[in-house]
Structure 1
């Protein structure tokens, strides 16, 4: 027996059963009044001009770091993506080995979360905005390179070969043959990366790299919930504005959605794109000057703190099996709650018109709320551990996947759902078999990709909730045990690379 296609999207939600069984034993009664005060503050945020001015300044710093990190990653990713494309090397030199070697090397920087990059660079370069920009640019550049190379390898090469055989120079032939068909997918993915960069810049601020994230952490630690919600609402307004702009550009320029379907007509896409790039360049210069980000500052490294004498045998004696198992269990629980929770919640509120609007607001808060702050909030009422960390990480990714599911439902159209309703089916059955059946495989394919992203993000909540490899990384960083840090990064890289391979296989099978 095989489950019907629409039911496939609900299967990951089965992880909620053991979570619900374990949850009562993890609760303690110390912080429920704080949770009530926190929720009450959501409708009564602080309107103090001094507070708002400080939060707006932090938001400007976060947005500036995100913009600079995103622009740098796109430039790095395009160059490395072309250099790691099998199609490019096969067309120019009749061999794919350099591309395969570079692809394997690029798996290392993208396997390390931007937070780890930020903490390591902080030790080398000191506290400066350039650290956050570089921490975003390195892993994001490797991720963009992977997408660019995959997009290039999926293109037909007949036009490129014809230009090369006619005597056209290789750079001109590459731009003419591969540039136009590559552009739509690149811009669509680039817009998505900009949204991710904003979230990453906020997260880096939580761990001391400046911006609004630092303000949010201080207000939470001091229990100033009204000021905290003022910052959250400002961040939500910026994030929703950015998402709306990216959506409008995708529709105007005929970019594909993340389900691979184009929207709108191309129109004057090329001319408008050139104008957008021309306007972006001076903006980047102004932002870099305002944040005092200078590339030359990256050349001045400070010496690392002395490493205490410690034998490698002591490092190897750490509880590695339990650390790895807890990390994988955390990934499984968080991924299941996020992937399966979005369609489950959408089905539950299907009969009510206001239900979808409420979910959209909840998912928007999940996207903008950094997982470490969610973990800190949960620790008011729950004991630290895998389940607490999974709830924090699952809530954040639920917001991302929930938005994706709604976007896919809009792309799929309402024809089948309305037909089922007209035949007498209920709202939930019509949504399940009318909409989910058309996007089940593509949604699960993206969920598989999101799972290896969640694996990288386990370090974020592990630092706070005290579980998995992230908890050991926190202790190793505090004691400057660089041998432990090096081995932890190696284990993370291996797990992430294996996770990427498994998610790639799952996506190919689903699609």
Structure 2
């Protein structure tokens, strides 16, 4: 059962990652201002598309999965679409940001010389975009595997479903077998992606990188499609369609009056603040306890384990010895995201020269002080900038533990979906989108300020 669930999870991750990468690059190129200006066209269509993509990006893949499950029933493509829709919007945002923030002087020079805009764009911007696609695309593959496991925890099939069933039936031997299998797959994937980045960064031009990575994405999509058809052949008989009742204005007004908005919003924001504090503050404090290579390796292994365990599964594990509370949900999200932040911090510290630390140590400073001011301080602006982005991700992930922990907008969303109260579903989703879009704009401003510092 574990190996069958692993096959479903990996096939879902491969196919959804391939689709999100292809559609994300296409949408990101269309909504970039530099593309429209190269053809001397107005940029208002790009602005409208960017604002439209903020809505699917603001909704977590779990919410997409639950909504599509109500519409199409249980089908393998439901999990694929639930991951591909928000991931396409996320990839489009990153791709567009790098296109518009790149150096456009070579592009303007080529266009002024009479070169066709398409040829000028391919020549001037592609060399820098190859590394962006490879680094962020590889990271998205890891996220797709984690998201496929997460959707399985909520009944959409795969390894997550097997882990949830073994935990509910108290079969801990099978549970740990599944966790070790998931950890091994994630570790192998991380090492393969790291090796891929190192090998592809030597003597490979940007256009070849994009072409090579595009072919790899298409190959993964084909493999994922055939693999998914092989492991779940009985479910590919066709999609079902369950009509949804569009709520009227009277139903929306009644649902708006009956829902406890203030309590739900405060619980969601409190969960976000607590989890963000754990995720951002834990890695530097842990490394500061004992700034030595052995301790850093131990921290790296701990953070790897935190990255491998999905937040809802971590909540269920914590609930075995604790009562449900807001702190348990915040701890689960915070520990999971601290694994990502810790990995990023260690990679940034390894790229530091170490001259400041050696100078402070030579002046008589202690090991902790020299590490704090010599290595961590120069790395802090970029670390805090990524922490601002991670806070935005944590706000979207609160729906995951809210569904389990009985708090915030996530719990109300699950209750409304279970009772087919579509007016409440629409209002809760609109509130969640408003919160996440507002948090995204605030995190963008904080990130730009920290990067400028």
TM-score using structure 1 length = 0.82
* Cα distance in 2, alignment partners of residues 300 and 61 from structure 1: 18
Match of 1:403 among 319, 325, 343: 343
> Aligned partners of 2:296, 2:442: CA distance in 1, in Å?
33
Query: Which residue number in structure 1 is paired with residue 365 of structure 2?
Result: 425
Q: Confirm whether residue 181 of structure 1 aligns to residue 128 of structure 2.
A: yes
1:387 and 2:327 matched = yes
Change (3 A) 1:279 1:69: closer
Closer, same or farther: CA 319–271 of 1 in aligned 2, 3 Å: closer
Maintained 8 Å contact 1:444/1:510: yes
Residues 169-195 of structure 1 deviation map (CA, whole Å, 9 limit, x = unaligned): 433332222222222112211111111
Q: Does the C-alpha gap of structure 1 residues 506 and 420 become closer, same or farther in structure 2, counting only changes over 3 Å? A: same
Structure-2 residue corresponding to 1:291: 228
Matched, 1:474 2:401: no
1:249 counterpart = 2:189: no
Q: SS in structure 2 opposite 1:382?
A: coil
CA contact 2:28–2:93 (8 Å) conserved in 1: yes
One of 312, 317, 324 as aligned partner of 2:252: 312
Please name the residue that 1:153 is paired with: 100
Q: Matches of residues 35-54 of structure 1 in structure 2 within 5 Å?
A: 54=1
- Matched-pair contact (CA < 8 Å) for 1:308–1:480: no
The C-alpha deviation readout for 1:359-414, integer Å capped at 9, x for no partner, is: 22211111111111111122223222221110111111111111111111111233
> Which residue in the other structure is 2:432 paired with?
492
SS in 1 for 2:38: helix
Q: Where does residue 285 of structure 2 map in the other structure?
A: 344
Q: C-alpha distance in 2, partners of 1:298/1:149?
A: 38
* RMSD of equivalent CA atoms: 2.4
Deviations 1:43-84 (A, max 9, x none): xxxxxxxxxxx2122112211111111111111111111111
CA offsets per residue over residues 87-122 of structure 1, 9 Å max, x none?
A: 111221342211111111110000000000111111
Quick one: which of 355, 359, 362 aligns to 2:302?
A: 362
Could you tell me how far apart the structure 2 residues matched to 1:197 and 1:108 are? 19
1:19-30 to structure 2, matched below 5 A, reads: none
State the Cα distance separating 1:249 from its structure 2 match.
2.4
Alpha-carbon shift at residue 228 of structure 1 (Å): 1.2
In 2 relative to 1, CA 233–59 (structure 1 residues): closer, same or farther, beyond 3 Å?
same
Q: 1:471 to 1:480 in 2, by over 3 A?
A: same
Determine the structure 1 residue equivalent to 2:241: 302
Q: Within 5 Å, give how 1:8-407 maps onto structure 2.
A: 54-254=1-201, 265-267=202-204, 274=211, 277-278=214-215, 281-292=218-229, 300-304=239-243, 311-316=251-256, 317-350=258-291, 354-407=294-347
Whole-angstrom distance in 2 between the partners of 1:206 and 1:328: 24
Instruction: Give the distance between the partners of 1:485 and 1:271, measured in 2 at CA.
Output: 46
Contact 1:307 1:480 in 2 (8 A): no
Inter-partner Cα distance in structure 1 for 2:421 and 2:63: 15
1:154-174 deviations in Å (ceiling 9; x for gaps) = 122233334334444433332
Distance 1:298 1:458 in 2: 35
Q: CA deviation at 1:303?
A: 1.7
1:449 aligns with 2:389: yes
The gaps in structure 2 that reach 5 residues or longer are none
**Relative to 1, partners in 2 of residues 1:271 and 1:177: Cα closer, same or farther, differing over 3 Å?**
closer
**Alignment check: 8 A CA contact 1:305 1:480 kept:** no
User: Which segment drifts farther, 245-254 or 178-187?
Assistant: 245-254
Q: Tell me the distance in 1 between the aligned counterparts of 2:245 and 2:93.
A: 37
Q: Distance in 2 between matches of 1:143 and 1:68?
A: 16
Q: Give the Cα–Cα distance (whole angstroms) in 2 for the partners of residues 446 and 298 of structure 1.
A: 44
Aligned length: 446
Distance 1:156 1:105, change over 3 A: same
TM-score (norm 2): 0.92
CA 1:281 to 1:105, structure 2 compared with 1: closer, same or farther past 3 Å?
A: closer
Tell me the distance in 2 between the aligned counterparts of 1:299 and 1:161: 50
Q: Which residue of 2 aligns with 1:434?
A: 374
Write the distance in 1 (CA, Å) between the matches of 2:42 and 2:177: 56
Distance 1:437 1:412, change over 3 A: same
Partners of 2:130 and 2:209 within 8 A in 1: no
Q: In 2, distance between residues paired with 1:178 and 1:272?
A: 13
1:267–1:144 CA distance, 2 compared to 1 (3 A) = closer
